[in-house]
Amino acid sequence: MMTQTEIKKKSESFKKWYQAVELLPDFWTCPRDPKKTDFVLSILRICNHQRVLDIGCSSGLFALAAGRSGAIDVLGIDKSKQAIEQANFVMEVWLGLGYPVKNVSFWNVDIQKHLGTFADRDLLIACNVFYDLGQNVHKLMEAVGKSPVHTMIMQGDLNREVRITNSGQDWGDNLCNLEGMGRLASKHGWKFREVLGNKYPVVIATKL
């Protein structure tokens, strides 16, 4: 088990964190924005007894929280090597604290090259990731549609609205707002079951 000094030193050795994870009491990996994380964390109870895939998992916050919420098995995927290193570090710390996250693992891969990963999953977490896929988001959604996945947790980010707008392409606002995520969901045979709104809107969608 790592000491508190070792945990802090290791955390601070990473150049940048994109998710605020509490590693020790009142010690976070980066400044915490409750609006960005708390909606998602509050609904991860639906991961209980599910096989979960978190794409664009970043530092592993949601994947690990899903594991703590009773998921059978959780796989977090991110194409960033540093993100996966951070996720494995967080998992090591949480295991040392006695958190039940032995059911979580992480892969450093590009989901676009591993669409078969959906084949043995029930629930998909996709938070702040669709904007990075461009038109390929439809290939991903088609793969999800053919898989056992029955529920998706999607999160947008209104701060990215300008960045990802592409005139003439219907994926331009897929991630940034509810309207865009709604178009994406309905186009591929999904419906909104629950919506939680702020500048980081969260949607639970289920197959029709």
Q: For 116-155, give the DSSP string.
A: GGGGG-SEEEEES-GGGTGGGHHHHHHHHHTSS--EEEEE
Rounded to whole angstroms, how far apart are CA atoms 198 and 82?
Answer: 29
Give a yes or no: residue 143 inside a domain. yes
Give a yes or no: residue 90 inside a domain. no
Q: What's the CATH code of the domain at 191?
A: 3.40.50.150
For the chain, the first-to-last Cα distance in angstroms comes to: 46
Give a yes or no: residue 202 inside a domain. yes
Give a yes or no: residue 7 inside a domain. no
CA 189 to mean position of chain CA atoms: 21
Q: In which domain, by residue range, is 125 found? A: 34-81+104-207
Give a yes or no: residue 99 inside a domain. no
Structural domain total, the chain: 1
pLDDT tens, per residue, the chain with 208 residues = 899 999 999 999 998 999 999 999 999 999 988 878 888 888 999 999 999 999 999 999 999 999 999 999 999 999 999 999 999 999 999 999 999 999 999 999 999 899 888 989 999 999 888 777 777 888 899 999 999 999 999 888 776 654 444 444 444 454 567 777 888 888 899 998 888 877 788 889 999 8
Give a yes or no: residue 88 inside a domain. no
